Structure 1
Amino acid sequence: MNKQIAPARTTAFSRSGTLPATLDAATAGGLLAAMGDVALILSGDGRILDVAVSNGELAHHGLDAWVGERFAETVTIESRDKVAEMLAAAAGGDAPGRWRQVNHPLAGGDVPIRYLVMGLGEDRRIAIGRDMRSAAQMQQRLIQAQQSLERDYIRLRQAETRYRLLFEMASEPVLIVDAGTRRIREANPAAHRLIGAVEGALVGEPVHILVDPAARDDLMAHLGAVEAADDVAPATVTLAGGHGTATLSARPFRQARAPLLLVRIAAAPMSPARRQDDALGEVVDRMPDAFVLTDRNLSILTANAAFIDLAEVPSADRVAGARLNAWLGRPGIDLELIVAQLREHGAVRNVATIVRGSAGGEEAVEVSAVMAPSPAGECFGFTLRSVGRRLRDAPEIPRDLPRSVEQLTGLVGRMSLKEIVRESTDLIERLCIEAALAYTADNRASAAEILGVSRQSLYSKLHRHGLGNLVSNED
């Protein structure tokens, strides 16, 4: 059998028989006045007939002057709708009334009072009010405390942001190490670059991962000494992976009751030879002539900015590891001859060839190269001087190109075989371009398609052979 739940009680007492049969007016008035800080006896139309004040602070505001006024006229404009709703609910008498807060405009400011309006019979109402100023003050203090906490939190976040930005941008390697476990909690990008690690790879690793295995005991002894004394001199350690030596200093501190170590690493002073190498690398990168260093298989090890421009690639990363013959020389001709001369004589000078750009352009260059030993075997260094622009800017010297086999063979003895071959190649290339332009009525897009080259490459060849300007009549 299901147990029934009794309905919620909505009256003050459930056994009315326990109450006195009659109460005199003075006793009833005292009880009603004691129920709140202020009590108002109202007529049926909401006019105040009497006022009882039990709160000493409210008694000084002269609330007796309300007698004869309407209840709604003693409150602020925004509270009058609440008064009307309370009076209407008390007149209905069916549903129990509910407490509503209104504001009274008194001397010194608005006073918030929470009222409950009840019917008394005989066209009478009573409004029992409780002063809410202490609660409002408590609420205001709570809001102020909350705002103060929010301001402190914002300042803390701003300080943390500044610390994080300084930590990330510092050029000096810095680590935050757990003093108990000797594991790295945080490491800035400079610390990762110091040993060539991927950013974020050091977090959670033991701190001795930074140094050579032979230097681990010295590192641990130094960190232990730092925790015991304040005037410990920095330690010089050998970094892992052959990255040289560095000076390491540490300082203990506490955060959230956890002991931590702030570890700073400074690279050892650079030797004069190292400084010269760095200066040499800077000079090579700024050279106006292109420079390329390759291994014995002609795979590019490094290249300067001038070569990047000639090769028409966005960055040096695109050429590192690629074969040099992807850009230098005519396929299967020039570069193989240059390398053969290098292996035989150790150096070549001013060899005329071309550089083919990734975007389809070509540039005439003079190549000088040298072979040198390296730890990984022999390597080749190439310098490329652009001569195409210099020749284009120079005044054109009229000369008759050879037009027949007899004229070509007549050049023997006056020019080297390589120069004769190049003259023949240029002649054939020019004649083919002229024929294609004539066939297509000087439509260069169609001529490039017939010749099987890109439009940019055709424009470069037209420029090199002096076959008109870059303005075309194509539609």
Structure 2
Amino acid sequence: MNIREIGFWIDNADPQVAPDYINQVIATAADIAIVVTNTGEIEMVTINPLTKTMGQLDHWKGRNICEFLAEDSVNRVMSIIEDYRRGKAQIIPAVEVNHFDNANWQFPISYSFHLTGQDGRILMLGRDMRAIAELQQRLVKAQLALERDYEAHRDFETRYRVLMETSQDALVLMSAASGRITDCNQAAARVLGGSAEALVGCNLESEVEANGSDDFIDSLAGASAENIKSGVSVVARRSGRKISIHPTLFRAAGERTFLCRLETETATDGADIEISGGLETLFQKGVDAIVFTDDRGVIRFVNEAFLGLTDIALMSSVKGRPIADFLVRGKIDSNVLLENATRAGRMQLYATQLVGSHGSSRQVEISATRLDDGPQSNFAFILRDASRGDLLRSQDEQDSTHRMNDIVDLVGSSPLKDIVAATTDVIEKICIETAVELTGNNRVAVAEMLGLSRQSLYVKLRKYNLLDKSPKD
């Protein structure tokens, strides 16, 4: 049996389709079929009868196809027609073009080009791409809407964070279903005695001790519904503070949430409020310099008196710098102050020199106090200018003066070598006694201050009978 006799479609042979059905096959195989000459003149336009949105395009016949192409599509179509006319083109991939007619009705079409074998005529079979284009436009619009929503979300998130962290009120967000803390600010973390990161996810009921026997969440819901001004009284387990919780219940994203404002009971006392106001006035207008630092000695706040002592114009030039930058012995002075304040809670009348911004220095007396406020310790320093007053001499200084007078009396009765040796011993003892007093008998700090090893320090302490010297409070 011959293959040509049974094959319906064989290479280099005509398909076995009757001529009467060819037009119907072409019309229904594509949304639009156009026959053009090798100059671009349209000889035939056939619209798929199933695609009613294409309308009637009979007015295209006899006109050049360039008249119905968008400007960016003209070169693509005419270059393909020119390649076919010169015999260069073989198989051309589908090309997307944009059509428009006299009514400025635009629509995208994806064409495939085929030679007909009749005087260079070309058959263009097109598929309507409007549905795909509309879908693409909808996807682009959806993407733009998502980006706008994301930016709006970031905007609200930033505003929320700024409000939470700058608010002086202690605020806690708690899920009404689980009782767990979903968010809290630093003020609330200090009141509860922990860090914000550690508290998020914890059960608020486990962080406090409620006074009543009622369910904790029910108590908050009742206080929120009845708008009780006194709130719910509890005690923070970590910090031991008495707290009043003022809850507000709201619903967001289908979930009920409590916004709890925490107030320490002492904060509502009238006398404490008055004291707080007085302390703030003292900080702003006091004659003594006041400095607040963190546990590493990095400055957080200073008052105007400190800026005046250091000849600095703005607090921003001081904030974030270590207090050691303004002390004549730098880290030695700051370590003595911090270590003694950490150990004993405070240190009184530490004499040193304060270095200004232009290199000038002045004698000051510093008192340091440790502030236990939350999980980390902060420190407060009061600096008093001692350069203009006559400091009272201690008994040790008077004894040293008498010893120096005795040495002066040796002139003429003892060799110079003996006088120098005696003078060296007196000065050395005075320096060691002063360092011991300044550091509260902290031997490590004394050795660092004097530039001695600990072994050499103990030898000299034993030499001058200073080993049993007790630290001063």
TM-score w.r.t. length of structure 1 = 0.56
> Are 1:43 and 2:9 matched, yes or no?
no
Of 271, 276, 279 in structure 2, the residue corresponding to residue 278 of structure 1 is: 276
Aligned to 2:286: 287
Map 1:217-232 to 2 at 5 A.
218=212, 221-227=215-221, 230-231=225-226
User: Offset of 1:79 from its aligned partner?
Assistant: 0.6
Q: Deviations over 1:280-316 (max 9, x none)?
A: 5445543224689xxxxxxxxxx98757866999679
Say if 1:305 and 1:254 are closer, same or farther in 2 by CA, change over 3 A.
same
> Are 1:114 and 2:110 matched, yes or no?
yes
> Are 1:251 and 2:251 matched, yes or no?
no
Map 1:10-89 to 2 at 5 A.
21=16, 23-24=18-19, 26-54=20-48, 55-60=51-56, 62-67=57-62, 69-87=63-81
Say if 1:126 and 1:222 are closer, same or farther in 2 by CA, change over 3 A.
same
RMSD (Å), alpha carbons: 4.9
Map 1:94-113 to 2 at 5 A.
95-109=90-104, 110-113=106-109
Are 2:211 and 2:234, in contact at CA under 8 Å, matched by a contact in 1?
no
Aligned to 1:146: 143
Aligned to 2:188: 191
Structure number with the bigger relative contact order (C-alpha 8 A, sep ≥ 6) is: 2
Are 2:353 and 2:362, in contact at CA under 8 Å, matched by a contact in 1?
yes
Are 2:354 and 2:363, in contact at CA under 8 Å, matched by a contact in 1?
no
Say if 1:86 and 1:356 are closer, same or farther in 2 by CA, change over 3 A.
same
Match of 1:121, SS state, is coil
> Are 1:206 and 2:200 matched, yes or no?
no
Say if 1:387 and 1:193 are closer, same or farther in 2 by CA, change over 3 A.
same
Map 1:234-245 to 2 at 5 A.
234-240=231-237, 244-245=241-242
* Count of aligned pairs between the two proteins: 336
Say if 1:320 and 1:203 are closer, same or farther in 2 by CA, change over 3 A.
farther
Structure 2 spans left out of the alignment, 5+ residues: 1-7, 292-301, 313-317, 325-332, 341-347, 368-380, 391-396, 409-473
> Are 1:129 and 2:126 matched, yes or no?
yes
User: Offset of 1:73 from its aligned partner?
Assistant: 4.4
Amino acid at match of 2:115: G
Q: Deviations over 1:47-100 (max 9, x none)?
A: 32222234544444x443441x33344322211222134435656597433321
> Are 1:179 and 2:176 matched, yes or no?
yes
Alignment partners' CA distance in 2, 1:151 and 1:279: 46
Are 1:310 and 1:355, in contact at CA under 8 Å, matched by a contact in 2?
no
User: Offset of 1:34 from its aligned partner?
Assistant: 2.7
Aligned to 1:472: none
Map 1:66-465 to 2 at 5 A.
66-67=61-62, 69-87=63-81, 92=87, 95-109=90-104, 110-123=106-119, 124-208=121-205, 210-211=207-208, 215-216=209-210, 218=212, 221-227=215-221, 230-231=225-226, 233=228, 234-240=231-237, 244-268=241-265, 269-275=267-273, 277-279=275-277, 281-282=279-280, 284-285=282-283, 286-289=285-288, 306=305, 322-323=336-337, 356-358=353-355, 363=362, 384=384, 386=386, 388=388
Say if 1:217 and 1:14 are closer, same or farther in 2 by CA, change over 3 A.
farther
Say if 1:291 and 1:181 are closer, same or farther in 2 by CA, change over 3 A.
closer
Say if 1:243 and 1:72 are closer, same or farther in 2 by CA, change over 3 A.
same
Alignment partners' CA distance in 1, 2:383 and 2:140: 74
TM-score w.r.t. length of structure 2 = 0.56
Alignment partners' CA distance in 1, 2:220 and 2:290: 49
Match of 1:33, SS state, is helix
Alignment partners' CA distance in 2, 1:71 and 1:29: 21
Say if 1:238 and 1:47 are closer, same or farther in 2 by CA, change over 3 A.
same
Are 2:194 and 2:238, in contact at CA under 8 Å, matched by a contact in 1?
no
